[in-house]
Structure 1
Amino acid sequence: MNKSQDHLAEPDVVRRVDDVTGALEGLTAILEQDEDLSVVLQRVCLQVVQAVPDAEMASITLLRDGGYSTATATGDVARRIDQAQYDAGEGPCLEAARTGTIQRVKVREAARRWPEFAAAAEGASVASFLSAPLFIDSEYQGSLNLYGAGGDGFGALDAALLELYTTAAEAALRGARRYVSARETVGQLRTALSSRAVIDQAKGMLMAVHRISEKEAFDMLVKRSQEQNVKLREVAERFVAEVLDS
């Protein structure tokens, strides 16, 4: 595809915006079916190549535990290019993540700005780089990266389309993260309520059998938990089961 985008006809621009819209609709459909973040990130990576037609490959870089890593990519070549940036500590994806600005760079400019990375990435058949900052929440942030093989490099329209897609994808991913977090909280509350119920049941049995107070019954359970080195809930469950089986 010719990347001289300054002279694109209006129908071409509309078609490209439609491509982004279609990709986002597909992402929304995935969010309705699967809330697993790794699956959603993979879908984002695959669909952004369709949203920005001049992109040959894509990847997503995330900052986790103080270091950068590739969460997903469309292929091994993209992963190798990402890794070259992590090893060198420089490159378009790291620059986008660190500065919060889109990086649109051709190979020659990359060689001037990040010589160590460019040398490591040489031979990957990539002619241009386009990376946008990706911020989901304080735990998940990094960049969405595109790699092009064409000689003309990414144009201003490519950058605008990527920014549009990334902004909408961030909102969708935040929604998915909130849903997962809420579901985990509900699960934890259910576990806590279940634990409390069985502990209360065990306390009641101990109080009836030994004619002791609620505090004394609870202390007995805690002591047994410490002696057996198991959770209080497990001690309570075992005791209740023993009484019911006897």
Structure 2
Amino acid sequence: MTHSPMDPTDAFTELGRVALGETSLDDVLQHVAEMGQRVLPVPVEVSVTLFRGEAAHIAASAGDLAFDLDEPRYAPRSGPCLDAATTGAVLSVPDLGIENRWPEWGERARSIGVGSSVSIGMPVQEAVVGALNVHARTPLAFDDDTITVLETLAAYAAVALANARLCDSTASLARQLHEATSLPISSRAAAAGGQPARR
């Protein structure tokens, strides 16, 4: 089957047109996952793993294989996906046939037809909150150039995450300010642990 990749420059231009403040985070991450499929010279499947507190979940996926391998309900408890998500590292698995760093994950990956894989951590505001995971059915699918392209995609996803976090923080602060200024003066003082000012 012929695979004609999209030019990475065109892909990043297209991503740059996405209005981060007007598009949901889930939609942005799904766009990143689908773009990962379109820009590489070999067929791949892509997922984006995010952490909420201690729990990981798949925020976006392009391809059943990626979902089956990375979805925490099915995935082994260790693997490059989770390690990249918690450390921010770029973890490449060139050939699943000889991979032994994550035995349980490797066995699972081989059983569903993965030949090679790369996971890229996404740091946001000094905290690593997720990873971009890309899997191919063939070994040795990812060279330095393709990993560089994927790092750019992961960076874009990290910007979207940072933007979403900022929007959430701003909305939360606005709610708190609204609630604080809506309270009577005596209630505000009590909430602050003090007494209302006497006149």
Q: TM-score, normalised by structure 1?
A: 0.62
Q: 2:96 aligns with which of 107, 119, 141?
A: 107
In structure 2, how many angstroms separate the alpha carbons of the residues matched to 1:104 and 1:30? 29
In structure 2, how many angstroms separate the alpha carbons of the residues matched to 1:25 and 1:187? 35
In structure 1, how many angstroms separate the alpha carbons of the residues matched to 2:154 and 2:33? 10
Unaligned runs of 5+ in 2: 191-199
Q: 2:110 aligns with which of 102, 117, 122?
A: 122
Describe the superposition over 1:191-216 as per-residue Cα deviations: whole angstroms up to 9, x where unpaired: 544x33xx57xxxxxxxxxxxxxx6x
CA contact (8 A) 1:136 1:173 kept: yes
Which structure has greater helix proportion? 1
Per the alignment, residue 171 of structure 1 pairs with: 159
CA contact (8 A) 2:68 2:74 kept: no
Unaligned runs of 5+ in 1: 3-15, 201-214, 223-246
CA contact (8 A) 2:120 2:151 kept: yes
Per the alignment, residue 84 of structure 2 pairs with: 96
Change (3 A) 1:84 1:37: closer
Query: Within 5 A, what are the aligned runs for 1:134-149?
Result: 134-137=122-125, 141-149=129-137
Change (3 A) 1:102 1:109: farther
Structure 1 or 2, whichever has the larger Rg, is 1
Deviation at 1:184, TM superposition (A): 3.8
Q: Over aligned residue pairs, what C-alpha RMSD do you find?
A: 3.2
Change (3 A) 1:20 1:192: farther
Query: Within 5 A, what are the aligned runs for 1:1-246?
Result: 19-32=7-20, 34-83=22-71, 87-105=75-93, 106-110=95-99, 112-137=100-125, 141-193=129-181, 195-196=182-183, 199=184
Q: TM-score, normalised by structure 2?
A: 0.75
Which structure has greater strand proportion? 2
